[in-house]
Amino acid sequence: YTIWFLLRRFKDNFYEFFKILEVFAYMLFRDNRFQVIPIFLGESKEGEYTSGHEGKTTTIRIFSKVIGEENTDWTTLKQLVESEFNFINLRGKILHVMSLDEADEIYGFESVIERLRDPVITSMVKRAVKGVTFPNTALHILVGNTLPRNRKKTIAFFRSIKLIVHFRLPLGNDWVFLDFIDEQEKSGIFNLLITIYKIQRERKGLYGLLSLEDTEKQYRQASNSFLSFLSEIFEKDKNNELEREDVMEYINILAENLNVVIPENISTAYLTRVLHELFNVRVKRTTTHDNDGSIHKTYYTGIRFKYDYDKVMKGEIFNIGELPKEKVDKNLDTFKEYQNALQDYLSTVPNDMSIQISRFFPFFNPYIQESRLYNNNREQKVDNWIKVFEMLLDADSSVYPTLYHKFGHNLDKVSLEGLRLFLEKELGLLKYFKSHEYFGQEYFQGLGVESVDYFNFKGWHYYALKIPEAFNSSEKTFEFTSRFSINATTLDQEEYDRIKELKERGDSVSNGMVYIRILE
């Protein structure tokens, strides 16, 4: 249910989904080793250009329930600024949550954030002259819809906030997910976080970190409503140029319709500087001569209007507070979006590290609720399953050793034709397995396979089997190991021939690997 919630929240924005998983896996270190304080920033635009209802608080509450409410602290920035005695509240905690929305009125909040990066924290307490020093075990998270102005502008401050998670989809009605956090859910979440924790430990860093330059740029943009507004109505285009007067008129009309406050008496010099900062625009000046004299014009190059200029001039704004986007892909392929995000995430895994790729497949399970993988009769759609498996085939070759070392094969040797043939003919029910007394991972190991891995999707177990190269055609008895006993299993001729056929088929599909599905 937690993955369902997060995928729902980050639809069309799966890069942020993986950043969320990284943030909460970071809790497991309990030593603040990477000295990063993540920001959960609401960026949906509603009403008068404000944010809310994107699931920031619910996301925090879910993970607070997972680790235990007693291990979560909600001491505010204001309380930490006002009294040195309040730092003692952080001792021994796993998660510490602070609101950013109040910070603009708090002088000195930057120093508190810099201080929370340290490996140890000192707090004043009664009857202790020098205070009490304790390990900084908490993951500190800042949550808000706006970023406060940064008055200090120190490198230490921007180094602290290099991980910004953008919440952009206002859905609401998320609290129901909190009711699903039972012991089974907690166990599943922890198993996933441990996998990501191991990746972080080998990577020696977090996924999605910004450079110092980009951190400062994003922070300044998000903490300045005018800069944020400009970033929403223009797009970078190195081959395009706009006349400065048209740009000014475009800005003024949209700002008026969308109730955006722009700086009074905005100068052309200020606008040029801001556009250069946001989009790296350049200024181009031209002079033409005619019978009436010289005509001077100024152009901004490297930028274009995000919305139709003529419609804006005519006032054709369909919803005050919501920009009418000209480009909407109504048939957005979520498989492709997830594929790109997953490949980007896995590309950061160290090449010498083995991971269990099957842990990433269940992410599709709760998310794809429609008939993407099934037809009206709830039968498998092979073409759509091909899309899922193409994610593996399209992976950058540099991550092959990392992703597939666990499976013992190299996907360079996999062909789409072979995969399709296998899915069409070999993913049918293996009825002789279904009727067998021993059913599951242990049974496959009993058949003499070298390794077994599996993932679950829509009620199906998919087993990845490595058939031994030294498969003895005359031997039909194998040792079978279960959790309760060890005994011998003898295959009948049909079962034996099927295993032999699977091995031969597997060689043509994935270098000795075969995928078998068993109905749950």
Residues of the chain above pLDDT 90, percent: 25
Residue 21's pLDDT band (cuts 50, 70, 90)? very high
- Residues linked to residue 143 through DSSP beta bridges, in sequence order: 40, 99
Name the amino acid, one letter, at 373.
L
Domain spanning 2-209, CATH architecture: 3-Layer(aba) Sandwich (3.40)
Q: Which of 9-13, 111-115, 323-327 has the lowest mean pLDDT?
A: 323-327
Gap between the Cα atoms of 230 and 220, Å rounded: 13
Confirm if 306 and 314 have CB atoms less than 8 A apart.
no
CATH, range 224-313: 1.10.10.10
Radius of gyration of the chain (CA): 29
Task: Give the pTM.
Answer: 0.61
SS3 95: strand
What residues does each domain of the chain span? 2-209, 224-313, 334-519
H/E stretch holding 58 reads: helix 56-67
pLDDT value at position 461? 41
- Within 8 A by CB and 6+ apart from 313, the residues are 249, 250, 253
Most confident of 77-86, 188-197, 455-464: 77-86
* pLDDT tens digits, one per residue of 223-235: 777 887 888 889 8
The closest alpha carbon to 357, from 368, 367, 373, 346, belongs to 346
pLDDT higher than threshold 60 for residue 361: no
* pLDDT tens digits, one per residue of 191-214: 889 989 999 999 999 999 999 888
